[in-house]
Amino acid sequence: MYPTVDPLAPNGISRRSFFRFAAGASAVASLPILTEAHLAYAERPRFADPNKGIHIDANENPMGPSEAARQAIIDIVPRGGRYLFSGEEELTGIFAKQEGLSAESVIPFAGSSAPLHYTVLAFTSKDRPLVTADPGYEAPMWAAKVSGASVIKVPLADPKGEARHDIKAMLAAASNPGVIYLCNPNNPTGTCTPRSDIEYAVANAPKDTVLLIDEAYIHLCDAPRSLDFVKEGKNVVVLRTFSKLYGMAGLRMGFAIGRPDLLAKISSLGGMNALPITAVAAAKASLLDADLVSTRKKIIANTRMQTLAWLKSEGYRCTPSESNCFMLDVRKPGKEVQAALAAKDMYVGRIWPAWPNSLRITVGTADEMMAFRKDFTEVMNSNTAGLVPPEMPRRLQQAPFTHLS
Q: Which residues bind ligand PLP (CB under 6 A)?
A: 35-36, 59, 111-113, 116, 137, 183, 187, 214, 216, 241, 243, 249, 254
Amino acid at 64: G
Minimum CB distance to ligand PLP, residue 139 (Å): 6
Comparison of 187 and 278: residue with beta carbon closer to ligand PLP: 187
CA 373 to chain CA mean position, Å: 25
Q: How far is the CB of 323 from ligand PLP (least distance, A)?
A: 9
Q: Which H or E run includes 317? A: strand 317-318
Residue, CB closest to ligand PLP: 36
Query: Residue 26 CB, nearest distance to ligand PLP (Å)?
Result: 27
Smallest distance from the beta carbon of 315 to ligand PLP, in angstroms? 29
- How far, in Å, CA of 157 to CA of 167, rounded? 9
Which is closer to ligand PLP, CB of 167 or CB of 340? 167
Report CA 221 to chain centroid distance, whole Å.
Answer: 15
H helical segments located in 29-123: 36-43, 67-76, 85-99, 113-123
- Give the nearer residue to ligand PLP in terms of CB position, either 214 or 375: 214
Distance in Å, CB of 343 to ligand PLP, minimum: 25
Give the pairing type, strands 317-318 and 325-329. Answer: antiparallel
> Looking at beta carbons only, is 132 or 303 nearer to ligand PLP?
132
Is the CB of 35 or the CB of 209 nearer to ligand PLP? 35
Q: In the chain, count of helices (H) and strands (E)?
A: 14, 13
Closest CA to 69 of 279, 304, 349: 279
Query: 3-state DSSP call for residue 47?
Result: coil
Q: How far is the CB of 297 from ligand PLP (least distance, A)?
A: 17
Which H/E stretch holds residue 126?
Answer: none
126 neighbors 149 (Cβ within 8 angstroms)? yes
Helix extents (H) in 148-190:
167-172
Among 63, 58, 59, 56, which residue's Cα sits nearest to residue 345? 56
Q: 167 or 379: whose CB is closer to ligand PLP?
A: 167
Cα(63)–Cα(278) distance, integer angstroms: 18
Which is nearest to 44 in space by CA: 251, 379, 343, 319? 343
Burial 10-31 (b: 16+ CB within 10 A, else e): eebbbebebbeebbeeeeeeeb
Least Å from the CB of residue 22 to ligand PLP: 18
Q: Which of 14/243 has CB closer to ligand PLP?
A: 243
Nearer to ligand PLP, 45 or 115 (CB): 115
Find the shortest distance in angstroms from Cβ 119 to ligand PLP.
Answer: 11
